[in-house]
């Protein structure tokens, strides 16, 4: 076991202890198929939670997206995202029409890896997710054989609100829904709206503030 594997194991255990990390597979079973999971984004912990929820064989082939300008600045951050999570790096600053910003994601999908993406692009602490960015649509069109799985992450924003350092133990769930692939002749706007609704529809009842 390498240091990265060990750290991954510890992180998943801590995530379980603090949040319970319960995965509810409502629409699909947790199978090792190639998938793009897309979810609401409320906290930095979102990725760790989804990752801790996945069974360990799926964990190895499921990768997050990380902004290169933030996650490669220090050796530690770089090592964490590269070795532990095997992140796919993307450029946040779009250089004038030079390269396709989705190229690294496409490369990962061509290798057969699964991805977790947060199509809102940014964290939204207030209730329902914002409008989805178009990246999801382009990936859906280019990789029709990859299943698109909506997921709702519940309660994470209560575990560690912005600006706090100590997480508070509060149970969180990730609810995975049925695949939401691109329909023939579906427009971009219609697809993105449908994808967002698919995520929102998975929100559990109760008191999640």
Partner 1 sequence: MIYDTLTTLKTLDAQAQIGLLFLGLFGGLSLVSAGTALYALREQTAADVRGLRRFVADLRAVWIGAVVFWLAWITGASGATFLFAVISFLALREFVTLMQTRRADHRSLALAFFIVLPVQYVLAARQEFDLFTVFIPVYVFLAIPVLSALGGDPLRFLERNAKIQWGVMVCVFGLSHAPALLLLQFPNAHDRGPFLVFFLVIVTVAAQIFEEIASRRLPRRPVARAIDRSFGLRAWFVANLGAAVVGGLMFWITPFKLPQAMVMAFIAGGAGTLGEFVMTALKRDAGVNYWGNSRAITGAVGLLDRVAALCFAAPVFFHSVRWYFQLKN
Binding site for partner 1 (CB under 8 A): 20, 22, 24, 26, 154-155, 158, 161, 164, 166, 168-173, 204-209
CB of 133: closest distance to partner 1 in angstroms?
27
CB of 107: closest distance to partner 1 in angstroms?
36
CB of 147: closest distance to partner 1 in angstroms?
22
What single-letter DSSP state applies at residue 133?
P
Q: Between residues 32 and 168, which has the closer beta carbon with respect to partner 1?
A: 168
Angle between helices 135-142 and 103-110 (to 10 degrees): 40
Which residues are bridge partners to 37 per DSSP? Answer: 116, 149
The alpha carbon of residue 201 and the mean position of all alpha carbons in its chain are separated, in whole angstroms, by: 17
Task: Pull the structure tokens for residue 131.
Answer: 């409008």
Q: Between residues 6 and 168, which has the closer beta carbon with respect to partner 1?
A: 168
Largest CA distance in the chain: 48
Q: Between residues 144 and 169, which has the closer beta carbon with respect to partner 1?
A: 169
Return the exposure string of 26-47: e unless at least 16 CB atoms fall within 10 Å of the residue's CB, then b: ebeeeeeebbbbbbbbbbebbb
Could you give the CA distance from residue 209 to residue 11 in angstroms, rounded to a whole number?
26
Q: Between residues 71 and 176, which has the closer beta carbon with respect to partner 1?
A: 176
Q: Between residues 55 and 161, which has the closer beta carbon with respect to partner 1?
A: 161
Task: Pull the structure tokens for residue 172.
Answer: 């969180």
CB of 132: closest distance to partner 1 in angstroms?
23
CB of 20: closest distance to partner 1 in angstroms?
7
């Amino acid at each position: 076991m390498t240091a990265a594997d060990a750290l991954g194991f510890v992180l998943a255990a801590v995530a379980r202890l603090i949040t319970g990390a319960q995965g509810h597979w409502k629409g699909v079973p947790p199978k090792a198929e190639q998938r793009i999971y897309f979810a609401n984004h409320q906290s930095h912990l979102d990725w760790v939670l989804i990752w801790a929820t996945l069974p360990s064989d799926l964990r190895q082939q499921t990768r997050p997206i990380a902004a290169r300008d933030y996650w490669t600045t220090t050796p530690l951050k770089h090592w964490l995202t590269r070795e532990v999570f095997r992140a796919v790096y993307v450029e946040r600053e779009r250089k004038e029409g030079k390269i396709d910003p989705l190229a690294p994601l496409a490369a990962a999908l061509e290798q057969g890896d699964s991805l977790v993406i947060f199509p809102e692009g940014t964290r939204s602490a207030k209730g329902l997710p914002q409008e989805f960015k178009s990246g999801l649509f382009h990936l859906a069109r280019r990789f029709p054989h990859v299943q698109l799985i909506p997921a709702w992450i519940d309660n994470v924003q209560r575990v560690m609100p912005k600006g706090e350092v100590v997480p508070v133990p509060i149970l969180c769930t990730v609810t995975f829904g049925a695949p939401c692939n691109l329909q023939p002749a579906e427009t971009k706007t219609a697809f993105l709206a449908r994808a967002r609704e698919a995520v929102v529809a998975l929100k559990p009842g109760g008191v999640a503030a």
